[in-house]
Structure formats: structure tokens, C-alpha cells
Structure 1
């Protein structure tokens, strides 16, 4: 099922539209207020600058004050009820804003801005914590991609609509009031259609002290090292985005010699690019949480931000500023359009898998609080990015030089995060290798248990078999592999990071063999998936060799369900032993070869043994070795 089919499902669609309409209203209100202050009121330039800089601070302040409490509420109570209260609060805020717009009451509008910050703060933990309750694990990446796409497009349309409506001659304030109230009401109606999402920690004792609860939430966020570093990655994304987006107006005006329409075009390119990248994540990840896309996203952000710097400032022609059509007609514009769009695309590759990873890895009874901790860190990094950008401006940095600084800092942060959590880099290497060398079709992945222990058994054709399975199984698995394959240079990093279990024959190294069986049992006892190749080595002739009794020993000690699997189409590849048997050079003759992975239904341990499993795997493989 395509991710777009979720837009026709009640368990997702009403929530999607509720969050998108909320994002639209946040930005429509803010941009309308800025437009009113800048163009509708006769204020000194100093006052305009003060209000325009005060507005983001007031909006982000609630994230520091109320995120921890919002995380508790999302765990303690049924989420849909909170969403509806939040949307009613939004209607009230927009009614106050309507009077502020018509009467030009700036203090009231700034108060409403603070209220909208509260609205987003309370909604934030629910926004991402509700998805694992509403979606299947295989839908999590696609659902996050749709949410990110909807948010980006809603922000873009809201920013443009707020400015355009406020500029309607004579009636801009009234139309702005009607627009924001109307959208808030529609958002509330959509929220009434969201199915119930039960509390994940109904016995949680609420702590209303914002300081102590913030510290506790940050402590919970730090408990899982991989999750915390994913949170840091998300927060860095906000730092990078804030630094770049804050300088786009000046970039459009000075470096591109453009008017306001060029700035709008720049925003469109970035937002549409991010939406495209977010939607592509499902296809590129094979509908699983594929954190291997994160290093790819980080690489793209650096490359295309760096290219914006290398392009240098445009040569001004001495005429009036260009509109967006004149800009696109310029010979050098294609490179800028490509850079800005691809920064957006790689932003999607970067942030969507991180959110999905946090959702998939965090226990449901603390996910909302982890998201709240993420929001606190996001707000902190946004403030730091704003101050850092201001410092660079005061030091005389041009906008392209700011982009260079962002690109170089991104390299440093990416290396730091991927060093702390090698799993990100391991997944990238696996994803890149497998998707470069093969075209893989997976059949029966729904048979893989979504939780709990299981023993996976598969035929063994090539040295690439574990990588192919790693890249396509919906859940992480511990692979039992011959110790000499485990120690292959370069791939050893991948196997070690994936916590593969090396094994040797009794005559080769009894100690490695004994430890392998102990590690397998321990992994199954913890509810993990363990994958073994019962043939004991690569096939030498393309046929399935007799399954060894080790599988019986594992099941006798730990009788877990067994999932038979088969790989098709790998015999004769450069990584199989066919060329060794024929004494030919190991040269790839089928680049991007078609390979199939077939997953059968789980079988009770009592119903199978080595011989029975061999017959099952043989039947799954068929005649295509």
C-alpha cells in the first residue's frame, strides 16, 4: 500500500489535516502580524525591528516553559481529547487576534503570539507520539513523510497567505481575522474525526514544577544513547535550518538581486524540496525505519550549501530588482534553483528517518516525554542559531559565507553523531551497498513478527547475504555468521556494529562455537530476532546443502517461532562461489541484478527440525538459485 493511501484512512487522515491546518494558522497569523507591523502601521524603523525580533522570541518561549508539562499530559491522558482542547484554545486565540488585527492592538497580538506558541508546545508531543498508535510499523516512515510534507507545505502556504491577505487594500485586517478564525474552526472539526488514542501511561503522577520536570524529561530523553543522539540530530537540523532560512531574505535581495517575489520563490523551492525528500523516504527505505538515509541527508546538506557559497554573489546589473520570472530566465539561475531544492530534498532524507527512529525505538509510555525533551532541545538550538547568525552578521560575513559556515559545521556535527552512534553509518553503508549492487523484490515481509523473539533461517548463497537481509528486514536481527566472513575487512565494521554473532566449527574453535550459542540464546531471551544460515557455509554448487543440527540445539534450548526465508538469484554473482568452482575471475556480470527475498509464515518450534526447515527453505527458493 502506498503512503498516500493513508490519506484515505480515518486513523490517519483527520490527524494529518488537523496538524497541517494548525501549522498553516501559526504561520499565517505570524506573517500577517509582521506584514501589518511593517506595512500597515506608521511605526519608526526601530520599533518595527523590535517587534519583528520580539515575535519569534515570544513564540518559542512556551517551548522552554511548557514542553515538559505537555509531554506528561500526552502520556497521562487520551490524546484525542487533548487535541480537541488545543484546537478550541486556538479558536479562542484567533478570536482575540481578530480584534488585535482590526484595532491594530500590537500588545494583544503579541499576547496571541505567545498563546500560539503554547498551542504548538502542547500539540508537539502528541503530534509524533500518536503516529505509532495509529500506524503499523511498516507505515511509520511513510506516515512521518506525509506529516513532514504536510507541515512544510502548510508553513509555506500560511506564510504567503498571511502576507497577501493582510495587503488587501482597506480590508486586509478583516480578511486576516476571518481567515485565521475560519482555519481554526475547520481544524477543530477535523480533530473531532480523529479516532481515540488511549493514554500510554495512565498512572503517571503529574509534576507541575516546570524546572524539575524539564530536568526529568531531559534525563528520560538521555536514557537511550541511540535515541538521544537521534534527538540531537533533529535539533541540529533545526539549527541548520534556522541559520539558513533566516538569511534567505537577504540572499534573495542582495545576492540574487531579486524583489519580494524572488524571496517567495526561494521559500517555495526549499519547502517543496523538503516535501519531496520526505515523501521519497518511504520508497528509498523499503517501508522500514532506515536510518541509513540520515548520513546521506547530512552529506547532501553540506554539498549543496557549500555549492551556494562557491557560486558567489550575483553580478548586479544596475537596474531595478528582478522579479521571480526574470530571475529564472537568467543563465545562472538553474544552479541556484537546484541547490535550494536539493537542500530541501536532503533535509527530508535527514529528518524523517530520525523522527521514525525515535518513535520506533522509544517505549510508548515515555515517547511523548522524549518528544517533549526533543522540543526543548530544538528550541534551544533555534535560539543559539539565531544568536550565532546575528554574530556572523555583525562580524561582516556575507550570506554565502554564512552558508559556508553552516556546511562546515554540519560536517563536524555529523561526524560527531555518527562516531557516537556507529549504527547510523553502518546502516548507510549497508543501504548504499545493497541498493547499488542489486534490485531486490521482497515477498511475504508481513510474515515477519512485529515483536517478540523468533529464529530466522535462510539459505546461504553469497557473502552479501547478511547485508541483503539487514537492508530489507523490517526489524533489526542478530546474524549468526561464519567468523571468517565476520572478519572480512571493511565489512567487519558493519557486522560488528550490527551485533552479528561470529561462529566457528567445533574443530576450528570450540570457544567461539560455545559463545555463539550462548549469545544466540541471550538474544532470543531478550525478544530479539536471530538469523542463522543452517547450511554452515556458502553453497558450493548452487544447491542447498543439508541443514546442520545446530538449529535443533538452539530450538531445544529456546523454543521460539521459526521463520523460514529464501534468497533467490544470487548464485553466480561476484560474491558467490560459482567462479571459484570454475576458476574464473570474480567479475560482476549482472550489475543491479534482480534478487528476491521470500519470507514464509512463522512455524512453532515443536513442528520443525533441521530436515523439515531445509525442505521449507528449498520449496521457497524453488529453481532460482
Structure 2
């Protein structure tokens, strides 16, 4: 079936009003914060005697401080209260905060404005769990990546437009401050109007008792999240992205002014380029992931964040402009396009990194605890962002230049990525699979939705090449435990990959009866635990391109674990470099060429009582057809 465009969700009530509510929240936050930061960067002496560089790190830190204290409580509230009602309450709170901010603007009182910054942090803390727990209630699983992509795009476009408008309005003379005060109040009202259209979203835990001790609840919340290792490490990975972004973005005002010698329009340009990059990367995730939760994009995004962060350091050193420039003048300076290109790609790869992480958390978390899990993630986000603000101030105090801060952040990102992916090898495995099917091969899937989203099943497939498992794993929406020959499993280099993927080694009764029996026990345990297990019933690679006879191992598996069996067939792999085609290796390389076509066809699940080797052979043969 043809997949609908993710943009069609914007026209549907189950998503559109929610999208615009969260969009105007992010937009208004940034109109207010950016106007304040621009005033304190370009007109600091009339407001305070503190250094602009310190304020540019301090104010974002104060904004996210409420996340540390109130996120666990916000998660509890979102699990207990209907989400549309809660969204409307949050929007009313935003109106009250903007009224306080208006007093600060009109009286020229910095500390009242900073109090409003903290208030907007509380507003965002309350809305955060609603934002990500709402989508799994109203979107299908295959829509989650597209929905998350739209939300991330909307968030960063809202950030972009808010920063552009905030920076522009506060520069209007002589009524810039009054303009900001009135506009932020108006945008809060528009967000409230949108929230009234959010459809009913039942609370998953309406009888939940809300803890009166937010700090104790925060500890309990994170402790609960740690029970699901993959989800918790995904939360940490998500929080690292916000650390990276907070540290880099907080330096843009001073970077634009002191290093690029630009006016406020250059600062706006840097924000624009980064935000456009994140929006583009977030939207591309749906296409690159094939409408499923593709965590293989996460390592890809992390690699880009490090590479382009490092290049931003060198590009900054190579910038030699000394004259004061505006946006158009910057584009004419040698080396400026390289800097802007690096910032754009940081945004794109940031989108690749963060969207699949959100979707993974939403799909693998206990639905009744999702809001609290998001609240726990927001606590971690806040701690990481406060740490980023603290590290930025420490680096400034130690004499780090801003380009050196970019370089240090990129190198730290590489170390953190290696650590997280070593703890959750599934990310790396999916990345390798994703790279294979997006570089060497062009893979088409047929009826892949027949692979169940949950519950045990045995997958059976023809065995054509040494990369069959990688192709199948990349196409599956869930992790698969592959059964493979013990000699291949113990290969020195490939063995690490197979062990990482939790493959199950098997030997024949003649070679090692104990190893064979252990394999059947491991298969039964995996199926009992609700996992997918894939076997190649031929028992060996084809040497002719045709199917070999299916052996009796599948019958023994089903006898122990009567679960559905799903026939599959690989098409188009025969003759590639990693098959046993006896033809000339050099000739085959050029005959097929790069990006060769192949397909994975999935058949109708077969009940266990009908899953004989002979019947499954017929099903796989029919699925493969004449295309070897």
C-alpha cells in the first residue's frame, strides 16, 4: 500500500491542533528569550554590568532549571490528567507569565524578566510529557517517525521564527520593547485557541496519586526508567543531544558578533541555518527509515555531529574577515559559506540523531508509564543542559575561544557515542544494516507489515548470500534473533557482529550434539520471551541460485514452541559478490554495478500445525518466483 505523506497529518484533527499548540509554545518561548538575549548582547550596559558572554550561558540555564525540579511531577500529572485539558491549562499559564514579562519590559527590570524566563521553563516542563506521550495515543506505529519528524521540524522552525522575530522586533526603534511585550502575549493567546481543538486523550493512569515530594519522585522515576535498559540509554542519548545543542547554540550571539564581526542579522542567520538543518533532517527521517522506527540513523547522526563540529572549528580559524558585516555582507566573505554549511549539516545530522530516539522510547516504553518516562528524560535533559551551561562558563573562564569550544564539544560527542553504542550494540547493528541497504543495494520490501509488531514468531527464508541476515534485519521493524552455523558465528571478525546481534549458533548432531541441543533450547527461550527468531531451513548457502531442500529443524522448533511461522523470500541477491555464484568474480562486480536491486517478500503467517518443511518450501519458492 502506498504510504501517505507525513504532512497529511497536519490536516487531521488528531494531530493538527496538537502540532500548532506545541509550535506556538516553542515559538513564543524563543521570541521572548531571544529578544532578551539580543538586548543583553547589544545593549548590555543599559540593563546590567554583567558580561554578555556569562548572561548568554546563564539565561538558557535558568530556563531549563525547572525541568530538574518539576519534570517527574509533570510526568505524573500527564499520566493522571486528560491531555487536552492539561494542554489548555499550560497555555493559560503561559498567558499569565507573559503578563509578568510585560511588566519587566515596561519597567526595564532585568530580574523580573529573568523570573519570567524561569516561569516559561515551568510552562515547558509541564508541556514536555504531554508533547511526546500524546502521539502514541493518536498515531499508528508506522506514523510515529513521521509524526515525531513533524514535531521536531515544527519545534525548530518555531525556535527559528521566534528567534528571528524576537531579534528583529527588539531592534525596532523606539518601540521595540513594547512590541515584544505585546506580541508574546498575543502568541500565547493564539496557542490557547489552538489547544481547544485537541481531541480527547484519556489519561492512562487516572487513579495515580501525585507525589508531594518532586525530588523523591524524580529519583523513583529515573530508577523505574533504568529497568528498561534500551529505553534508559536512549534517554541518555537524547539528553546528550541537548547538551551538545545547548553548548553550541548558546555561543552563537558572541560568535556572530566577535568572530564573524556581524550585526544581529548575522546571529539570526546562524540560527536560521541550524534550525532549517534540524527541520530538514527531521523530515528526511521518515523517508530514510522507510516508515518504521530505524535506530540505525542514530549512529549516522552522531557521526555527522562530530565530523561537522570538528570542521566548524577549522572553518572558524580560516575565516579572515575583519570588517563589520550584515547578513548579505557575511555571504560575500571568504570562508563564510563553509561555516554556514557546517552549521546546516550539524542541524541535519542532529535531526537524524534525535527523531529515531524519540520514536524508540515511545514504542518500547510501558504505555501506562510513558508520560513519567518522558518526564524522567526531561530531568536528564535539564541536568545535561545545566551542565552544558556550567561547562560553557567554565570554558570561558579558562580562556577557551568559541571555536575551541566547538571542537571540544565535537570530540566529546565522539567519545559519548562510542560509549553508548558499546552499551547498546543494537544501534550499531542497525546502522551497519542501514548502510548496506542504502549504499550497495536498493532494497524493496513486499508486505513487510506481515512481520508482527509484537509477540513470538519464526521467520523462514531462502539462504542466498552472506549478508542475508543483515538485509532481513534492516527490513524488520523489530530485532531478530538469527540462527546460524556455529563456524560462521565464530569467525574472528564477523563473530563480534553476530554475538552483538545475539545470534544463536547451531551445529549438526554429527558435529556437536550438545551445541545443537543448546541452540534449540535458546530458540525456545527466545520464543517464550516473545522474540522473533529467523532460520534458514536449507542449512547452507545455495550454490546454484535455486532453493535447497528444507531440513527438519523447523519442525523440531515448532514442536517445542507452537508459534506462527512467517515465510519470506530474498530476490535479486544471487550473483552478488557475497554469494557462491561460480561465475567470474570480476565480471560479476561490473555486471551488477553499484546500488543493485533486490527485494524481500513476506508471506502470510502459517499456523504452527501447518508448518511442515515441505509446505514452507512451497511458500518460500512461490514468494521468490523466477527472480533469483
- Provide TM-score, normalisation by structure 1: 0.94
Q: Which residue of 2 aligns with 1:444?
A: 447
Task: Indicate how the Cα distance of structure 1 residues 515 and 195 shifts in structure 2: closer, same or farther if over 3 A, else same.
Answer: farther
90-99 or 495-504: bigger deviation: 90-99
Q: Which residue of 1 aligns with 2:90?
A: 86
Instruction: Report deviation, 1:68.
Output: 0.8
CA contact (8 A) 2:79 2:368 kept: yes
Task: Indicate how the Cα distance of structure 1 residues 440 and 372 shifts in structure 2: closer, same or farther if over 3 A, else same.
Answer: same
Instruction: Report deviation, 1:471.
Output: 0.8
The structure 2 residue matched to 1:46, chosen from 28, 43, 49, is 49
* Structure 2: distance between partners of 1:266 and 1:41: 21
Task: Indicate how the Cα distance of structure 1 residues 433 and 211 shifts in structure 2: closer, same or farther if over 3 A, else same.
Answer: same
Instruction: Report deviation, 1:484.
Output: 2.6
Q: Which residue of 1 aligns with 2:469?
A: 466
CA contact (8 A) 1:453 1:524 kept: yes
Q: Which residue of 2 aligns with 1:509?
A: 512
Task: Indicate how the Cα distance of structure 1 residues 11 and 484 shifts in structure 2: closer, same or farther if over 3 A, else same.
Answer: farther
Instruction: Report deviation, 1:442.
Output: 0.8
* Structure 1: distance between partners of 2:494 and 2:603: 28
In structure 2, the gaps of 5 or more residues are none
Residue 547 in 1 paired to residue 550 in 2? yes
* Structure 2: distance between partners of 1:344 and 1:238: 12
Task: Indicate how the Cα distance of structure 1 residues 65 and 583 shifts in structure 2: closer, same or farther if over 3 A, else same.
Answer: closer
Q: Which residue of 2 aligns with 1:479?
A: 482
Instruction: Report deviation, 1:587.
Output: 5.3
* Structure 1: distance between partners of 2:437 and 2:167: 47
Task: Indicate how the Cα distance of structure 1 residues 417 and 344 shifts in structure 2: closer, same or farther if over 3 A, else same.
Answer: same
Q: Which deviations, in whole Å up to 9, do the C-alpha atoms of 1:530-564 show, x marking residues without a partner?
A: 11212222222211222222222222222222222
* Structure 1: distance between partners of 2:319 and 2:120: 42
1:380-399 matched pairs, under 5 angstroms: 380-399=383-402
Q: Which residue of 2 aligns with 1:169?
A: 173
Residue 418 in 1 paired to residue 421 in 2? yes
Q: Which residue of 1 aligns with 2:589?
A: 588
Q: Which deviations, in whole Å up to 9, do the C-alpha atoms of 1:203-222 show, x marking residues without a partner?
A: 43321201211111121222
Aligned-residue CA RMSD in angstroms? 2.3
Q: Which residue of 2 aligns with 1:577?
A: 580
* Structure 1: distance between partners of 2:257 and 2:507: 66
Q: Which residue of 2 aligns with 1:75?
A: 79
Q: Which residue of 1 aligns with 2:625?
A: 622
222-231 or 173-182: bigger deviation: 173-182
Task: Indicate how the Cα distance of structure 1 residues 483 and 203 shifts in structure 2: closer, same or farther if over 3 A, else same.
Answer: farther
* Structure 1: distance between partners of 2:437 and 2:57: 48
* Structure 2: distance between partners of 1:55 and 1:402: 19
Q: Which residue of 2 aligns with 1:492?
A: 495
Task: Indicate how the Cα distance of structure 1 residues 215 and 77 shifts in structure 2: closer, same or farther if over 3 A, else same.
Answer: same
User: SS at 2:368's partner residue?
Assistant: coil
* Structure 2: distance between partners of 1:78 and 1:359: 18
Q: Which residue of 2 aligns with 1:201?
A: 205
Instruction: Report deviation, 1:37.
Output: 6.2
CA contact (8 A) 2:257 2:267 kept: yes
Q: Which deviations, in whole Å up to 9, do the C-alpha atoms of 1:581-607 show, x marking residues without a partner?
A: x57669534222100111123232234
* Structure 1: distance between partners of 2:298 and 2:319: 36
CA contact (8 A) 1:462 1:571 kept: yes
The structure 2 residue matched to 1:230, chosen from 228, 234, 247, is 234
User: SS at 1:462's partner residue?
Assistant: coil
Instruction: Report deviation, 1:233.
Output: 1.5
Task: Indicate how the Cα distance of structure 1 residues 434 and 207 shifts in structure 2: closer, same or farther if over 3 A, else same.
Answer: same
Task: Indicate how the Cα distance of structure 1 residues 106 and 45 shifts in structure 2: closer, same or farther if over 3 A, else same.
Answer: closer
1:205-354 matched pairs, under 5 angstroms: 205-313=209-317, 319=323, 321-354=324-357
* Structure 1: distance between partners of 2:602 and 2:566: 7
* Structure 1: distance between partners of 2:401 and 2:112: 36
CA contact (8 A) 1:455 1:532 kept: yes
User: SS at 2:367's partner residue?
Assistant: coil
Q: Which deviations, in whole Å up to 9, do the C-alpha atoms of 1:36-70 show, x marking residues without a partner?
A: 66778983541685876664344222112211101
Q: Which deviations, in whole Å up to 9, do the C-alpha atoms of 1:149-197 show, x marking residues without a partner?
A: 1111101111121232233334434433332233222222222222222
User: SS at 2:569's partner residue?
Assistant: strand
- Provide TM-score, normalisation by structure 2: 0.93
CA contact (8 A) 2:450 2:602 kept: yes
Q: Which residue of 1 aligns with 2:381?
A: 378
The structure 2 residue matched to 1:12, chosen from 15, 18, 21, is 15
In structure 1, the gaps of 5 or more residues are none
CA contact (8 A) 1:297 1:349 kept: yes
* Structure 1: distance between partners of 2:319 and 2:294: 43
CA contact (8 A) 1:426 1:493 kept: no
1:178-193 matched pairs, under 5 angstroms: 178-193=182-197
Task: Indicate how the Cα distance of structure 1 residues 366 and 387 shifts in structure 2: closer, same or farther if over 3 A, else same.
Answer: same
Residue 534 in 1 paired to residue 572 in 2? no
User: SS at 1:365's partner residue?
Assistant: helix
CA contact (8 A) 2:261 2:322 kept: no
Task: Indicate how the Cα distance of structure 1 residues 315 and 14 shifts in structure 2: closer, same or farther if over 3 A, else same.
Answer: closer
Task: Indicate how the Cα distance of structure 1 residues 583 and 173 shifts in structure 2: closer, same or farther if over 3 A, else same.
Answer: closer
User: SS at 1:349's partner residue?
Assistant: helix
Residue 136 in 1 paired to residue 137 in 2? no
Q: Which residue of 2 aligns with 1:118?
A: 122
Q: Which residue of 2 aligns with 1:157?
A: 161
Q: Which deviations, in whole Å up to 9, do the C-alpha atoms of 1:11-55 show, x marking residues without a partner?
A: 222222111111001111222344566778983541685876664
Q: Which residue of 1 aligns with 2:563?
A: 560
* Structure 2: distance between partners of 1:85 and 1:218: 26
* Structure 2: distance between partners of 1:477 and 1:199: 33
Q: In the comparison of the two structures, how many residue pairs are matched?
A: 622
CA contact (8 A) 1:21 1:183 kept: yes
User: SS at 2:69's partner residue?
Assistant: helix
Task: Indicate how the Cα distance of structure 1 residues 308 and 56 shifts in structure 2: closer, same or farther if over 3 A, else same.
Answer: closer
Task: Indicate how the Cα distance of structure 1 residues 303 and 53 shifts in structure 2: closer, same or farther if over 3 A, else same.
Answer: closer
